[in-house]
Amino acid sequence: MKNIYTYTQSELESPELLSLDFGKAVVFSDKSPEKDSANEDSLALFEIDKKTAVFLVADGLGSLPNADAASKLAISAIQRALKQATDNDSLREAILDGFEKANQQILDKMPGSATTLVAIEYQNGEIRSYHVGDSMILVTGQRGKIKLQSVPHSPVGYAVESGMLDEDEAVHHEERHIVSNVVGSADMRIELGSAIKLAQYDSLIISSDGLFDNLYVDEIVDIARKGNIETAGQQLHELARQRMLSPKEGLPSHADDLSFILFRPTK
């Protein structure tokens, strides 16, 4: 593996820029401003070669024990699966194997714990998404067209997808944090997306729910697609933190751990 960037229990003061052979990424991870315990999110970016990478975000379920350890284990399981993959194994097979291994290890080593896990496979300018839980994946074009938006594996997420709830109702719903599909469950289901070609000025975001619980999708798109990627990452962090610390009536606000990767290809 060419480069390995991992962030577990991280407390970053500001987003960090990573320069890759095929693009630029901004990463951020920090715990909720309202808690003293560890950040239960983990994220990683594995740059495998000059044209291939895997992006990961895991959000340990804070209502359950060992949430921080569960998210860290999920990242480690994917990393191990990628390292152990042979030349005959596809990247897809390695990622799926990592999900399965993470699920079994949590069930065996820390029963009662769980985490969400989202992964993006990047190869030669194409991405494919994998996700379990309510952490989010979003791809937007330079003009704001949404090319991919994952559906959270939750009753509220499914209600929005079916048209029973709108986005504003969802972000204020009292049951928005109930998750129906997690890593650490005998019934875990991996949702595998279709391959999508990224245009040069597209923006990819994967994040824990700390971002989408504090900003509307249109706000995230508007920030992510414009200007310098470092500035965009800083604005996402600052606005989400502002909403957490200073709730205003009618706007989303939920103090939570916040982790995201913002990526734009350059080739």
CA 86 to chain centre: 27
* Better-scored residue on pLDDT, 266 or 41: 41
- E strands present in 145-216: 146-149, 191-192, 196-197, 203-207
Looking at residue 63, what is its pLDDT? 78
pLDDT tens across 139-193, in order? 999 999 999 999 999 877 777 778 888 777 777 777 777 899 999 999 999 999 9
Looking at residue 88, what is its pLDDT? 61
Residue 82 banded pLDDT, cuts 50, 70, 90: very high
Residue spans of the domains in the chain: they are 3-265
Question: Which residues pair with residue 17 across a beta bridge?
Answer: 26
**CA pair distance 92, 140, nearest whole angstrom:** 23
**CA pair distance 50, 114, nearest whole angstrom:** 33
Looking at residue 95, what is its pLDDT? 97
Half-sphere exposure (CA, 13 Å, Cβ side) for 239? Answer: 20
Residue 215 banded pLDDT, cuts 50, 70, 90: very high
Residue 267 banded pLDDT, cuts 50, 70, 90: low
Looking at residue 230, what is its pLDDT? 96
CATH class as words, domain 3-265: alpha beta
Which phi and psi (to 5°) does residue 181 adopt? -150, 115
Query: DSSP string covering 62-110, please?
Result: TTSTTHHHHHHHHHHHHHHHHHH--TTS-HHHHHHHHHHHHHHHHHHHS
Q: Which amino acid is at 126?
A: E
Looking at residue 85, what is its pLDDT? 84
**The tokens of 236 are what?**
């996402």
Using DSSP, state whether 176 is helix, strand or coil.
coil
Are the CB atoms for 202 and 262 separated by under 8 Å? no
Looking at residue 160, what is its pLDDT? 73
pLDDT tens across 216-234, in order? 999 999 999 999 999 999 9
